[in-house]
Every structure is written in structure tokens, then in C-alpha cells.
Amino acid sequence: MPKKKCKDPKLTYLNDLGFNVIKLPRSGISPLDVLGRDGESIERLGSLPQIWSSEEDLPETRPSQTAAQINGEKTKSMKLSVGLSILSNILKGMGAAVPQLKFAYRRARKVEFSFSNVRTSAVDPFEAGKFLTSGDLDTDNPFVSRYFEDEGTEAFIITEVLESDTITVTALDEKERGIEVDVPAIEGVVGANVSVGTGGASNTAISYQGAAFLAFGFKTFGIAFVDGDWEVEGVPASGNIAFDPEALKPAVFAGTFLSVGDARRY
């Protein structure tokens, strides 16, 4: 039975742009990373080469390139509480000293986001397919056994990652008109890791720029072993695929690890 579509805007705000959400933006998320779902939980488990031996060379990640179709694109407006939750996670990833900024947006009722300096890194799915076809899993790995043999598990391979170092937040009133926020107060608490700017005379659209590029969105394919063959299938952008990179602690999967499908199609 298909999973009920997630409508939580914290998990879906990138879906209209074709990408899934990384709940806590961070560095270190790359193409060929593997996500595993066990019940309702989905998390990053590691990288495909850690558990996959193949006669084919590892697919090369294409050099990062500007995501022109994403730069400057705005999300739908959302309730202030939802938007501040998203902003808090982004600021945490940037290393802000105080990521909670409710005090500065107290007059706002809604917010919308846009990203600048957006770039993508990706592997060609065809190349990933050749790597999979000519290889096999480390079935002695307990994580592999867990996700092959038990029901209710799925696996996903990341093929493209969306990164940025800058996000702009526009404060809106109930009628979605721009409203100014307390920029000096924000500058006073976010710390040296985050630069704050307005880009104009108005203090309605505030840009937050971190010191490094962080992954905040991704595209993925599902993988499963069906009737003796490896099969992959496209996975539309959905809140059901959003994940928290910190959900599975390193101590849990020291060594090699994977979450793979339950021998069925997605």
C-alpha cells in the first residue's frame, strides 16, 4: 500500500523544485550515499562503495555546477512557526550561536524562502546502474541481512545533491505583504559564523550566509532485489523521503552498513 503523502511543509518545501529535504543541512552528504527506511524512520546509512564490490569503476561525481533553475526561486509562503523551524535548522547547520530567532520575527505571520549561490553535484544514473549491475553486496554485513530479510525496509541511492551557503527569508504579514524585522538584534546573536544582510533599504528580506556550502536537498532512486535481479526506480520528491543526517549515530554503524529493499518493487 502506498505511503500516505506527507504534507508537512518543513519536509516538503523543496518538493515543487524537484528535490527532497535534508532536515538539518550539513556538509558531507554526497551522491552515492545510501538512505534506509525501517518503518517510518529514514536515515543516512553510509556510502554505496562501503558495501558494494563491482568490476566497474566507481561512478565519478560530476564537478559542482550552478543550479540556475533554483537560484532565486522562492518557496511558497508558510506559517511563521513552520518557517522559523526550518530557519533554525539551517542556522544550526551554519553554526549560528543562537539559531532561534522568534524574537526578531514577532511582527510577522508568514515567511517565504529563497536560496542564492546554489550549486549541484551529481552522478549519472546510467553510470550508477553499470556499477550496480556488475557488483554485489557484502551479505555478511548485519545491516545488509537486516534489510534484505525483514519486511518493511527500503533503500535509496542519492544521485544529486543541492548545496548553498546563503538563504534569504522574507517576512510577511497575514496578507503576505513584506514586513520589516529587527536586523540589528539578529546580527547581535547569530555569531561570527553567519553573515546577515538585507540587500537593500528594506529589512523585509534578510539573507543569512554561512562559511561553507551545506547540502539541503537531494534527488534519489529506490533500489531492490526482485526475482534475482537488481532493479531501480525513480522516487518523486516527497516529504516521506526527507531525512535527518544525524538520526543514526556513528557508534551504531561503525564499520560497513546499508539499508536495502525488502525484495519488492517500490
Q: Which three cell numbers stand for residue 75?
A: 518557496
Q: Residue 154 belongs to what H/E stretch? A: strand 153-172
Where residue 80 falls (left for φ over 0; alpha for ψ -120 to 50; beta otherwise) is alpha
In 3-state terms the chain splits into helix, strand, coil percentages (rounded to 5) of 25, 35, 40
Q: What is the pLDDT of residue 244?
A: 86
Query: Would residue 261 count as lying in a domain?
Result: no
Give the cell for residue 67.
543550479
Instruction: Return the C-alpha cell found at 166.
Output: 546563503
Domain around 137: 9-253
Assigned domain for 16 exists: yes
pLDDT tens, residue by residue, 121-140 = 999 999 988 888 887 777 78
Give a yes or no: residue 27 inside a domain. Answer: yes
Residue 240 placed within a domain: yes
The number of distinct structural domains making up the chain is 1
Residue type (1 letter), 122: A
- Asked if residue 147 lies in contact with residue 155, where contact means CB atoms within 8 angstroms, the answer is yes
- The per-residue pLDDT for range 9-54, each reduced to its tens digit, is 889 999 999 999 999 999 999 999 988 888 778 888 888 888 888 8
Question: Within a domain: residue 167?
Answer: yes
Q: Is residue 266 part of a domain?
A: no
Residue 235 lies in a domain: yes
62-101 residue pLDDT tens? 988 999 888 888 899 999 999 999 999 999 999 999 999 9
Q: Model-level pTM?
A: 0.84
Q: Is the residue at 264 inside a domain?
A: no
